[in-house]
Amino acid sequence: MQKNIALIYGDCSSPEIVTQAVRVLDRIAEKYGHTFTYTRAYMGGEAIDKFGDPLPQSELDKCLASDSVLLGAVGGPKWEGMPGDKRPEKGLLRLRAGMGLYANNRPAKIWPQLADASPLKKEIVEKGIDFIVVRELIGGVYFGEHKTFEQNGEKVAVDSMPYSEHEIERIGRIGFETAMKRRKKLTCVDKANVLDTSRLWRSVMHRLQAEYPEVEYNEMFVDNCAMQICKNPSQFDVIVTENMFGDILSDEASEITGSIGMVPSSSLGATSCGLYEPIHGSAPDIAGQDVVNPIACILSAAMMLRFSFGMTEESDAVENAVNAVLDAGLRTADMMAPGCTKVGCTAMGDAVLERI
């Protein structure tokens, strides 16, 4: 197969991980007889430096013309003082919206080799952690009206959180469909005791529920869910939730699995052209030292192979190689444990390549 991949190298330590993920993709292409070509696109801090805009139309167009986009992470102290619409993160939000990627899939699965790195008690981890956060990605408070104004001699800021029924229905359906392919359990997470948007979510979810009688469906307030994720994570199979709750819960979910440096994500909309990125940030504190963990980015590339290109065997090959590297006791600093061998970013990339 021939595929064109848009690459966004990102900011701070991000180019280091994207470089390793591209080496892995090249190895897959070589081994399985595919041709991957790459188009470099700029987004985030890099685009601000180059164009004065975190996502110029030309760069969005490159992504839209590609078969899928691989991204590291954007942002960093250099751009922290920028106004809201000129921040690197704004480029990411515009990219997600411009590509219509409403469904963000963030797996939280414990790697047995990393069980000791989980901050949870052994007896909780042993019950199993294997769930997915299906996060709505292009609606809600991230995309509602944001304004700051003067009132009665002081500043007032407002961020609004709109959701319409069709936005809820399409992500709700992804939640049910994802559950059908797994253990058939779906939890809708919201704040229906306070928010109108949550009450609308529930009414739409109830309509959908009738179409998926096999799915065991329940609802949970987000504050309780945050607690349950650390108290009893084995109860979850698929969580479906709105944009900001999904942002927060997926960080918590990744941490209990051992390291946020291991968690990939996919974002998809109506077509197979998706955006694949680790859920972690650009780790400015360790940039340029070749110590960052490239695995989340490598696993994001594996998700691209599976979900956008239908390359199941190839995706399995990458995931198995990562598994073998962990079995061999190789660890980057973020997940280093006694008795293991500490390696840097490039050496971790080498180790994965050797096992494909």
The residues binding Mg ion (CB under 5 A) are: 247
**Given the residues 86, 109, 184, 191, the one annotated as active site:** 191
Angle at 293 between CA 291 and CA 299, to 5 degrees: 155
Known catalytic residue at 237: no
Site for ligand IPM, residues 277 to 306, rule: CB under 6 A = 279
To ligand IPM, the closest distance from the beta carbon of 247 in angstroms equals: 4
- Which residue do the tokens 């780790």 mark? 283
**Given the residues 223, 285, 316, 327, the one annotated as active site:** 223
**Given the residues 53, 237, 247, 334, the one annotated as active site:** 247
**Should residue 89 be labelled a site residue for ligand IPM when binding is judged by CB under 6 A?**
yes
**Should residue 138 be labelled a site residue for ligand IPM when binding is judged by CB under 6 A?**
no
- Which residue do the tokens 């909780």 mark? 124
- Which residue do the tokens 């690459």 mark? 7
**Should residue 252 be labelled a site residue for ligand IPM when binding is judged by CB under 6 A?**
no
Q: Please, which residue, 84 or 338, has the CB nearer to ligand IPM?
A: 84
To Mg ion, the closest distance from the beta carbon of 156 in angstroms equals: 26
Known catalytic residue at 223: yes
Whole-angstrom Cα distance, residue 184 to residue 216? 6
**Tokens matching residue 177:** 């469909």
Q: Select the residue interacting with ligand IPM from 12, 60, 63, 92 (CB under 6 A).
A: 92
**Should residue 247 be labelled a site residue for ligand IPM when binding is judged by CB under 6 A?**
yes
Known catalytic residue at 42: no
To ligand IPM, the closest distance from the beta carbon of 38 in angstroms equals: 22
Q: Please, which residue, 281 or 294, has the CB nearer to ligand IPM?
A: 281
Q: List the one residue out of 1, 10, 19 whose CA is nearest residue 301.
A: 19
**Should residue 69 be labelled a site residue for ligand IPM when binding is judged by CB under 6 A?**
no
**Given the residues 142, 163, 212, 276, the one annotated as active site:** 142
Known catalytic residue at 53: no
Q: List the one residue out of 161, 220, 160 whose CA is nearest residue 191.
A: 220
Known catalytic residue at 191: yes
Q: Please, which residue, 71 or 356, has the CB nearer to ligand IPM?
A: 71
Whole-angstrom Cα distance, residue 131 to residue 178? 11
DSSP 9-66: --STTHHHHHHHHHHHHHHHHHHHT-EEEEEE---THHHHHHHSSSS-HHHHHHHHHS
229-251 burial string, b = 16+ CB within 10 Å, else e?
Answer: bbeebeebbbbbbbbbbbbebbb
To ligand IPM, the closest distance from the beta carbon of 280 in angstroms equals: 9
Number of residues that bind ligand IPM (CB under 6 A): 5
Q: List the one residue out of 227, 47, 238 whose CA is nearest residue 130.
A: 238
**Should residue 17 be labelled a site residue for ligand IPM when binding is judged by CB under 6 A?**
no
- The half-sphere exposure of 197 on its side-chain side, counting CA atoms within 13 A, is 21
To ligand IPM, the closest distance from the beta carbon of 118 in angstroms equals: 20
Q: List the one residue out of 269, 265, 321 whose CA is nearest residue 297.
A: 265
Q: Please, which residue, 11 or 247, has the CB nearer to Mg ion?
A: 247
To ligand IPM, the closest distance from the beta carbon of 92 in angstroms equals: 5
Residues labelled catalytic: 142, 191, 223, 247, 251
Binding residues vs ligand IPM (CB under 6 A): 75, 89, 92, 247, 279
